[in-house]
Chains A and B, each alone.
Chain A
């Protein structure tokens, strides 16, 4: 099943995707940027406007569908992936998107998330990760760091957090990427690639909550620090970073390690070349864990993109095959199937 592509030139613009509803996120919220980038990218995807659907759960991020002039479904907490799954199965030509947050997807909706990944349902999931519960006013979330002091953890959270990209890779998602709300160009690129991926696409977006978790990602987004704390994954290119692009990542066994390219010990050839199309998710999984190591830069970009049959293709194929074999279903024959006998009255 391919998404319905309009071969005629599309004349859609970002404005076509703005709904008539007032946007009600807090001033300065990272969600505004995500909304703007989605509205910029959507006209370029070659998909009819009426074929886009946004499904969301509960949380600040889940307001998203109201602000997009597409079909939308603001559902209940955690269930957006399941609702999107049913819609996509019923109507495979639609482009189905999920807007969700770290509480919605990583906590209450965790089960739906891993199974949608595992089954390679052809839906696109954007996780707005601000590492806090915003709508319920400031409790720690499943992605908050251990020790975090919040309303529900006054002495510091004792939970270990999830790393969403690791979880997605561990669940065999076929497209896993990360972006940052403030890095708009890169975010657009990632949304575009997620939108064009055939299969489940998972994009984690670090999103700043100005009210309850302000500056959570400051180190990763501010000019002064960002070059040293982040690394951008690019397919086929060596993993080099740093203000002077003088540092690289090597693998020692299964452990990624930062090395200097200045002291003559290592050259570019020693540095890992990122291969996002590796069939095995193992290397991508190792890279995703760099996020949790304070001595390593946090990766952004596409960790993994592989193509394999989607759930939706497999189902449609099965329907076609069975129908070819048995003929199109005939209700009269179904009713009269099995052992029947006549009663002459």
Chain B
């Protein structure tokens, strides 16, 4: 922008911003626009949407507050940040909800139009926080965002209600000015998004610019910042969420394996977006079936796998519980399906929109009988892409169900992703059986996999099912020795996978006093916590597990080289339990279930507590 006022621009390395307002205030949209623009400037970034489970909770209440946190940086970062530097509060409830989590000297931009007696009451505030001293120490900017938006849009042919709705773009404009971001990406996005609603494009564009120029021309803001581009590896980037990465990963798996992709799914938070994405990709031959319930989701996937598709089902915790029996059927029939569980807070309905890692034991053991399945866990939003490919590859190669665990945090969070070219992706295919000569439905290859013989193939007619099958022939068998053999074969197939997956890589020294072991979506937090502890002089190593059943084959060796093993998990110690029983090692647990990612400093403090300040310091 030309014509900017004389406020000096300060350069910052990293900033964390929180947009917060009523769930009808459009904060998720504002946050994602800010993220996209910021990503396109070459900053590394990480986002954390925090929205209520209610679709429209009562306006003005704490329950109705929707927040969007993002951290962006000129260096590489792994988390959406512990404590925001800037809070945009569209109403008193938003201020009240996030005040405890922002930095003590943070910048607050408050929409004073909503700071009235009615809203204080709705937010449960006894007095006006802008006046009662509770914001002492913060840098507070009181901006009449609603009325300024109304004024800017007074000539628009929109209803009064629609005009007020544009106030989030005014707020976005202020933030673009404050952090030296260009408005063009959002203006372009508005043109595309509302191409049949020119009045909306106009109103939002005017509001955005009005906000920007408000920052530029008024003198209330005393600081302006820039965050220089990060030094990321060369390549083409896009911003990606875990759910979108999961969806694209399965499309890639379908293309790379040559098997049609089938998704049977029942809508559930926070997994539904995967269904939304995949149902759009019909021109890839993707078939999605919105089933009548969770059980039909997986059962139909099993049917599709019997028919030769790369078949998947997507769900979250309670849905996985419902799919349990059918998952056992896939184990018994040795059919390749992938079950994606986007974990959320439990038990029962729990915290549908919040994150947790408490379904690990359910994934490992939640079936009747000896019923082993492969269990994988994605570590970051973009890693969901690679783990979806990996889950598909393993399912087809070993003819078995694979559970892929992600979680609400990485599913909805976004990060910049260096996009791989199709040619960089692995090709894999479990050929369908076509030769009737000597065909036996439960014969075994070198991986102990049985042939994938699908209906429609002449001469291979056979029956599968949930009753125990005789090895090789596949006939129903109650023979005691055969059952013993089959239980062991099903487990041996899992053991074989360990020879087919990468060893775990150690971040840091390969022996020492302390090893931090994480899995799944905590990767970003643990990477940063360990890095900070090292900066303070502590010697600590870290590994992150993405393969849990089976574990990487070098895991036992790695664990044995450390005196202490710290296992931070957003559960009561589920990985810890498996590590102890598998390797007879002691572990130190660190567990917090707040529906949120760990705070980096909490983990760092735990590391320091264990090392007691003595560790080479």
For B420, the chain A residues whose CB sits under 8 A away are 335
For B232, the chain A residues whose CB sits under 8 A away are 343, 345
> In the complex the two chains form, what is the Cα distance from A79 to B293 in whole Å?
11
Residues A331 and B251 in contact in the complex (CB < 8 Å), given A51-B455, A73-B465, A86-B264: yes
Give per-residue flags for A72-112: 1 if the beta carbon is below 8 A from chain B beta carbons, else 0. Answer: 11111001001111111111011000000000000000011
A131 at the interface (CB under 8 A from B): no
Question: Which stretch (A144-152, A281-289, A322-330) binds chain B?
Answer: A322-330
Q: List 17 A-B contacts (CB under 8 A).
A: A51-B456, A69-B461, A73-B463, A73-B464, A75-B466, A86-B264, A87-B303, A87-B306, A89-B262, A89-B300, A91-B456, A111-B293, A115-B291, A329-B284, A341-B237, A343-B229, A345-B235
A315 at the interface (CB under 8 A from B): yes
> In the complex the two chains form, what is the Cα distance from A342 to B229 in whole Å?
12
Q: Assess whether B455 is in contact with A50, with CB atoms less than 8 Å apart.
A: yes
Chain A contacts to B: CB under 8 angstroms: 19, 21, 48-53, 55, 58, 65-66, 69-76, 79, 82-91, 93-94, 111-112, 114-115, 315, 318-319, 322-323, 325-329, 331-332, 334-345
Chain B contacts to A: CB under 8 angstroms: 36, 39-40, 42, 185, 229, 231-239, 248, 251-252, 255, 260, 262, 264, 281-285, 287, 289, 291-293, 295-296, 299-304, 306-309, 311, 325-326, 328-329, 333, 418-422, 454-467, 475-476
Contact partner of B287 (CB less than 8 A), chosen from A58, A82, A315, A344, is A315
Min CB–CB distance B164 → chain A (angstroms): 28
For A91, the chain B residues whose CB sits under 8 A away are 304, 307-309, 454-456
Min CB–CB distance B145 → chain A (angstroms): 26
Q: Assess whether A342 is in contact with B236, with CB atoms less than 8 Å apart.
A: yes
> In the complex the two chains form, what is the Cα distance from A75 to B235 in whole Å?
48
Residues A90 and B304 in contact in the complex (CB < 8 Å), given A73-B464, A315-B287, A339-B39: yes
> In the complex the two chains form, what is the Cα distance from A315 to B287 in whole Å?
8
Min CB–CB distance A39 → chain B (angstroms): 14
Q: Assess whether A90 is in contact with B309, with CB atoms less than 8 Å apart.
A: yes
> In the complex the two chains form, what is the Cα distance from A65 to B422 in whole Å?
42
Q: Assess whether B39 is in contact with A341, with CB atoms less than 8 Å apart.
A: yes
Q: B297's closest neighbor in chain A, by CB?
A: A82
For B329, the chain A residues whose CB sits under 8 A away are 75-76, 79
> In the complex the two chains form, what is the Cα distance from A50 to B307 in whole Å?
12
Q: Assess whether A335 is in contact with B422, with CB atoms less than 8 Å apart.
A: yes
Q: Assess whether B475 is in contact with A21, with CB atoms less than 8 Å apart.
A: yes
Residues A345 and B236 in contact in the complex (CB < 8 Å), given A48-B458, A115-B296: no
Contact partner of B251 (CB less than 8 A), chosen from A53, A334, A343, is A334
For A75, the chain B residues whose CB sits under 8 A away are 299, 302, 329, 465-466
Indicate the member of A76, A88, A342 with the most B CB atoms within 10 Å. Answer: A76
> In the complex the two chains form, what is the Cα distance from A90 to B232 in whole Å?
42
Contact partner of A339 (CB less than 8 A), chosen from B238, B299, B455, B464, is B238
Q: A323's closest neighbor in chain B, by CB?
A: B283
Q: A341's closest neighbor in chain B, by CB?
A: B40
For B458, the chain A residues whose CB sits under 8 A away are 48-50
Q: A69's closest neighbor in chain B, by CB?
A: B461
> In the complex the two chains form, what is the Cα distance from A50 to B433 in whole Å?
14
Q: Report how many A-B pairs have Cβ atoms within 8 Å.
A: 212
Q: B463's closest neighbor in chain A, by CB?
A: A72
Q: Assess whether B302 is in contact with A86, with CB atoms less than 8 Å apart.
A: yes
Residues A94 and B421 in contact in the complex (CB < 8 Å), given A50-B460, A339-B36: no
For A323, the chain B residues whose CB sits under 8 A away are 282-283, 285
Q: Assess whether B234 is in contact with A85, with CB atoms less than 8 Å apart.
A: no
For A94, the chain B residues whose CB sits under 8 A away are 307, 455-456
Q: Assess whether B283 is in contact with A326, with CB atoms less than 8 Å apart.
A: yes
Q: Assess whether B304 is in contact with A87, with CB atoms less than 8 Å apart.
A: yes
Q: Assess whether B283 is in contact with A82, with CB atoms less than 8 Å apart.
A: no
Q: B233's closest neighbor in chain A, by CB?
A: A345
Contact partner of B461 (CB less than 8 A), chosen from A49, A90, A111, is A49
Residues A339 and B307 in contact in the complex (CB < 8 Å), given A82-B299, A111-B293: no
Residues A90 and B296 in contact in the complex (CB < 8 Å), given A65-B465, A343-B235: no
Q: Assess whether A90 is in contact with B283, with CB atoms less than 8 Å apart.
A: no
Q: Assess whether A322 is in contact with B282, with CB atoms less than 8 Å apart.
A: yes
Residues A82 and B248 in contact in the complex (CB < 8 Å), given A51-B456, A76-B466: no
Residues A331 and B475 in contact in the complex (CB < 8 Å), given A69-B461, A71-B455, A344-B234: no
Contact partner of A83 (CB less than 8 A), chosen from B285, B302, B467, B475, is B302
> In the complex the two chains form, what is the Cα distance from A87 to B296 in whole Å?
12
Q: Assess whether A90 is in contact with B460, with CB atoms less than 8 Å apart.
A: no
Min CB–CB distance A19 → chain B (angstroms): 8
Q: Assess whether A85 is in contact with B39, with CB atoms less than 8 Å apart.
A: no
Q: Assess whether A72 is in contact with B299, with CB atoms less than 8 Å apart.
A: no
For B42, the chain A residues whose CB sits under 8 A away are 341, 343
For A86, the chain B residues whose CB sits under 8 A away are 262, 264, 289, 299-304, 307, 311
For B301, the chain A residues whose CB sits under 8 A away are 86
Q: B239's closest neighbor in chain A, by CB?
A: A339
For A87, the chain B residues whose CB sits under 8 A away are 303-304, 306-307, 455
Min CB–CB distance A15 → chain B (angstroms): 14
Q: Assess whether A331 is in contact with B303, with CB atoms less than 8 Å apart.
A: no
Q: Assess whether A339 is in contact with B264, with CB atoms less than 8 Å apart.
A: no
For A331, the chain B residues whose CB sits under 8 A away are 251-252, 255, 284, 422
Q: Assess whether A90 is in contact with B40, with CB atoms less than 8 Å apart.
A: no
Residues A50 and B461 in contact in the complex (CB < 8 Å), given A75-B329, A86-B289: yes
Q: Assess whether A319 is in contact with B282, with CB atoms less than 8 Å apart.
A: yes
Indicate the member of A51, A65, A70, A74 with the most B CB atoms within 10 Å. Answer: A74
Q: Assess whether B251 is in contact with A336, with CB atoms less than 8 Å apart.
A: no
Min CB–CB distance A276 → chain B (angstroms): 27
Q: Assess whether A329 is in contact with B295, with CB atoms less than 8 Å apart.
A: no
The 4 closest A-B pairs by CB, nearest first: A345-B234, A86-B300, A86-B303, A74-B465
